[in-house]
Amino acid sequence: MKRVLAGMMLLAVAVPLSKAGIFITEWMYDGTGGEFVEFTNIGSTAVDMTGWSFDDDSRTPGSVNLTVFGLLAPGESAILTEANAAAFRTAWNLGAQIKIIGNLTHNLGRRDEINLYDSQGNLVDRLTYGDDTIGGPRTQNYSGNILAENLGRNLAAAAVRSAVGDSFGSYASSGGAVGNPGYYYAAIPEPATMGILGFGLAMIVGLRRRG
């Protein structure tokens, strides 16, 4: 049986024009379905992730190659997980359209860092987290979600812990972990001459058919 999960979030924040491209949008450092990191393209154009990479707190570009993600369309998310990709897809009931790289060996800890690099080795986004050191949600079996206004700001303390039925469309995996991997922030239209978007901008968190 196919299931459609959806969420809508109304922003009462100003989103700068620089908020375009690929960002870290969700993470879980330990989970019964496998720890994971979600990257989302919130820009208005596709991004080729050939040569892009991930690393944890060792901060070494090229450590984990993300080339397999290929072209990430506007509004599309991709998942990096320690679990086998097929097992993760099954645990979270994700459709074949969700891009997943599995068998991550650079495992995340309770206090760690997520670093995303482009094909030139430039840092694109960083999330330093640790609920017992800098605050924020403990992402053990419950993912943390980065709010739109905090994308790219490395503010794990301001992240929101997933809960079943929340505004992110979170639900429980077959193993009982709670999150919303594969959901996406829809591409936000950007005014050509303004540095911010107005208050009350509607942003779709996700409308994803899972099969």
The whole-model pTM stands at 0.82
Render pLDDT for 62-85 as a digit per residue (tens, 0 to 9).
Answer: 999 999 999 999 999 999 999 999
For the chain, what are the domain ranges? 3-210
* CA 57 vs CA 30, 95, 111, 116, 200: distances in Å: 16, 31, 9, 11, 36
C-alpha 79/C-alpha 69 separation (Å) is 9
Predicted pLDDT at 210: 43
C-alpha 80/C-alpha 101 separation (Å) is 5
Render pLDDT for 92-122 as a digit per residue (tens, 0 to 9).
Answer: 999 999 999 999 999 999 999 999 999 999 9
- Decide if pLDDT at 38 tops 70: yes
